[in-house]
Amino acid sequence: MVGADNTVSSCARPALATTYEGDDIALLERIVPLVDVIEISPDAIARTDGKRARLRPEVLDEYACVASNVRFIAHGIGLSIGSFDHWDEGYLGLLDELFAHVPLDWHSEHLATTVVAGESVGTMFPVPRSEEALDLICERVRLIQERYRVPFLLEHVIHLLPDAPAEFTPAAFLNAITSRTGCGLILDAYNLQCDAANQRLDIGGFLDELDLNCVREIHRQRWRVRQWSRRSDGNEYQAGIPGVRLPPPCAARSQPESGHV
């Protein structure tokens, strides 16, 4: 994609990123020489100060210590961009604070709903693939792009439940968002393999249909064991798998044996 300064453009070379969430400066100093980019999750470095969540200043200081030797990106969990009523303004407050303290190459969120009618659902549900949801998502992406003048990426999430009737295929829905807004995508290998195991997603067909020019970041995790969980309907679903390798885009994040985001 090409466009304004906060839309996705082609990158010169791949880069390696990993997450760091504070409180171990010795670890951070060991990581920095090994990677190009540190990923920051604003939600993970926040604490509640009265009613309002704020970023922990001591963690921001740690990032400042290594800022001359590494680049930074942000990856959110709490925006709930797919909520029918409103997204979480509190997350944007955290992001405002992060942008004020840390130079970010880009930032990203999950294409998901985590809050419904003010109540956390405790996980991430995919957005319905309808024209109505597409309009809602694209308008919210536009507002984010206006607010933060760096590229914004969306990540597809795992379908924990069987798919509802949809007006778009999974790839076509992502393509519609990127073509309308100029935002980029995160491709998560783990999420795709879970969808293949749980919902019989045809990964090859998905990748053939997806506009890979919009993929700016790849997530991969290494898992020691397959993890299976049992849904309330008695069926098992896959929640953890060995990481798989995909062609590199601009940044690939490796997150060893951790929970998924």
Closest CA to 109 of 145, 134, 133: 145
- Residue 169 CB, shortest distance to Fe ion, in Å, is 20
62 versus 156: smaller Cβ distance to Fe ion: 156
- What lies within 8 Å, CB to CB, of 22 at 6+ separation is 44, 45, 56, 58, 59, 62
What would the x/- binding string for Fe ion be over residues 213 to 232, using CB under 5 A?
A: ------x-------------
- Residue 261 CB, shortest distance to Fe ion, in Å, is 6
What residues numbered 122-151 form the site for Fe ion, per CB under 5 A?
A: none
What residues numbered 29-88 form the site for Fe ion, per CB under 5 A?
A: none
- Vertex 258 angle, CA 66 and 158, to 5°: 115
- Residue 189 CB, shortest distance to Fe ion, in Å, is 9
88 versus 188: smaller Cβ distance to Fe ion: 188
- Residue 26 CB, shortest distance to Fe ion, in Å, is 26
Strands 52-55 and 46-49, bridge-based pairing: antiparallel
Tell me the site size for Fe ion, rule CB under 5 A: 2
62 versus 155: smaller Cβ distance to Fe ion: 155
What residues numbered 167-196 form the site for Fe ion, per CB under 5 A?
A: 188
CA–CA dist 92, 2 (Å, integer): 25
Let me know: does 100 contact 130? Beta carbons within 8 Å. Answer: no
28: left (phi over 0), alpha (psi -120 to 50) or beta: alpha
CA–CA dist 256, 261 (Å, integer): 12
129 versus 219: smaller Cβ distance to Fe ion: 219
> For Fe ion, which residue has the nearest CB?
219
- Axis crossing angle, helix 89-101 with helix 57-66, rounded to the nearest 10: 40
- Residue 259 CB, shortest distance to Fe ion, in Å, is 10
- Residue 250 CB, shortest distance to Fe ion, in Å, is 15
Residue 109 in contact with Fe ion, rule: CB under 5 A: no
Q: Which residues bind Fe ion (CB under 5 A)?
A: 188, 219
